[in-house]
Amino acid sequence: MIMGIIMIFLGLRWMFVEQPWMLDKVANEERLGMSFDKLFEPNINNTLPGYLRQIYRFFGLWVMIIGLFITSFSRPSIINDKQIRISLMFCIGIMVCLALILAHILIPSSPFIYLGWFLVLMYCVSALNYKKF
């Protein structure tokens, strides 16, 4: 449930921040190989901030909806169903592990790496508690 709440918060953050690419500025500029000021400087790129904002808003919506799904399917009345529990644990495990692997490959200097490791830790705690359930 906590993972879902974190994802809802992150999704909303990406949706409503004016310059969401700046939330991970260092890693993004490292990946681009230039600063955002330099990227937005040429006239040809004057519409790029609006385009990036649009992409990050959709990304934030996607993250928020996944958080809502996780939170909704983590309620005690639903989680008692073994098939739902197994499906939820499987999907969350794949999502968390692959996201962390991609983050290490694509944006290794991102502070979101620490959040990814925290989510993996939370997933492991959940998996251990699932065994007791």
3-state secondary structure labels for all residues of the chain: CHHHHHHHHHHHHHHHCCCHHHHHHHHHHHHHCCCHHHHHCCHHHCCHHHHHHHHHHHHHHHHHHHHHHHHHHCCHHHHCCHHHHHHHHHHHHHHHHHHHHHHHHHCCCCCHHHHHHHHHHHHHHHHHHHHHC
- Give tens-digit pLDDT for 1-27: 889 999 999 999 999 999 999 998 999
Give the tokens for residue 29. Answer: 């500029």
Counted domains in the chain: 1
Instruction: Report the pLDDT value the prediction gives residue 133, as an integer from 0 to 100.
Output: 66
Q: Would you tell me how many other CB atoms lie within 10 Å of the CB of residue 60?
A: 19
Quote the domain boundaries for residue 63: 2-132
Average pLDDT over residues 31-44: 91
> Would you say residue 127 has pLDDT above 80?
yes
Q: pLDDT tier at 74 (50, 70, 90 boundaries)?
A: confident
Sign of CA dihedral 50, 55, 61, 63: negative
Instruction: Report the pLDDT value the prediction gives residue 13, as an integer from 0 to 100.
Output: 94
Q: Would you tell me how many other CB atoms lie within 10 Å of the CB of residue 40?
A: 13
pTM of the model: 0.81
